[in-house]
Amino acid sequence: MKASLVGDIGGTNARFALWRDNDLHAVQVLATADYSSPEQAIEAYLKDQGLERGDVSDVCLSVAGPVDGDEFRFTNNHWRLSRSAFCKVLQVERLSLINDFSAMALGMTRLKPGEFVEVCPGQADAARPALVIGAGTGLGVGTLLSLGEQHWMALPGEGGHVDLPVGNAREAAIHQQIHSQIGHVSAETVLSGGGLVRLYQAICALDGAAPRHKTPAQITDAALGGEPQALAVIEQFSRFLGRVAGNNVLTLGARGGVYIVGGVVPRFAELFLRSGFAASFADKGCMSGYFPGVPVWLVTAEFSGLLGAGVALQQMLDH
């Protein structure tokens, strides 16, 4: 019996695994910069597993961007892909591409104890949508729907590019500071790795402080070390994330809960859990009463996108 393969391809790393018995096996992480194409990276992965071209029948890849048509250009690395050429080169019978946040959403159905932390208490309504939102290289937003009998549907979207919401005079000043530099201010402008730096620079400018840090890691480390300016940035980041997540909950009716994913927030998880996220999340005027009981979790699982690609593949194989 031929193998099935799943992949989760990001800007820096591509994660691959064999999909067998409804689970991941032989997970391996490869640097995208080391390979000229996804085909070349997959061949290297297969070689490490003692497999060759033609040994894999089905492939499902999680990728950043819309997945229509034969040609796909990765938005966060130098790779390009033609579905027909991919199948021919690797002698694959079927290739499925799934939006990265659709895969991330499906991955939430496989969370295990210890892979998430409660941010806001509540009881998820399984009959209602769940929101999956995460800051990383950009800001991803996805929707998870239960179809019953352990079947799921993930709806992709571009919710990271909505306008950044403003809730008070300080946030209006921050918005204006950033707008004066770049024009339109989307949620992703602030709620991403690069956005953390942009937010830090804006707050320093408003407070008349000279910026001391140039990378997200430096800002996070400074905040964890107690530096007031960096702490203020993390606090404001958390509050903006609360506002964006709350807007999405109202739009979707997402009483199925909110999953916060991505690489940025887990790096300052303790600060985030003590932040004003929850207050901003529910700060919706006459609709603030909608939020008590909507659970929010911070997800720390390592391979949710890869698992989600596997869930998508399994659902296709089952049909």
- What does the alpha-carbon distance between residue 159 and residue 62 come to, in Å, rounded to a whole number? 18
> Rounded to whole angstroms, what are the CA distances from 258 to 3, 155, 212, 220, 250?
34, 14, 34, 24, 12
Whether residue 207 is annotated as binding a ligand: the answer is no
Whether residue 109 is annotated as binding a ligand: the answer is no
* Residue of 53, 63, 39 whose CA lies nearest to 3: 53
DSSP alpha helices (H): ranges in 108-148?
A: none
- What does the alpha-carbon distance between residue 28 and residue 242 come to, in Å, rounded to a whole number? 34
Whether residue 251 is annotated as binding a ligand: the answer is no
- Is 8 buried (19+), middle (13-18) or exposed (0-12) by CB count in 10 A? buried
Phi/psi of residue 114, nearest 5 degrees: 95, -5
**CB 154, CB 105: distance < 8 Å:** yes
Q: What stretch of H or E contains 46?
A: helix 38-48
The SS3 of residue 295 is coil
- What does the alpha-carbon distance between residue 71 and residue 122 come to, in Å, rounded to a whole number? 43
* Chain centroid to CA 228: 28
Whether residue 305 is annotated as binding a ligand: the answer is no
Whether residue 11 is annotated as binding a ligand: the answer is yes
Whether residue 8 is annotated as binding a ligand: the answer is yes
The SS3 of residue 209 is coil
Say what the alpha-carbon torsion angle 265, 302, 112, 224 is, to the nearest 10 degrees. -30
> Rounded to whole angstroms, what are the CA distances from 13 to 130, 156, 248?
27, 21, 29
Please name every residue paired with 154 in a beta bridge, in sequence order, or none if there are none. 144
Which residue ranges are tagged as binding site for ATP? Answer: 7-12
Residues contributing to the annotated binding site = 7-12
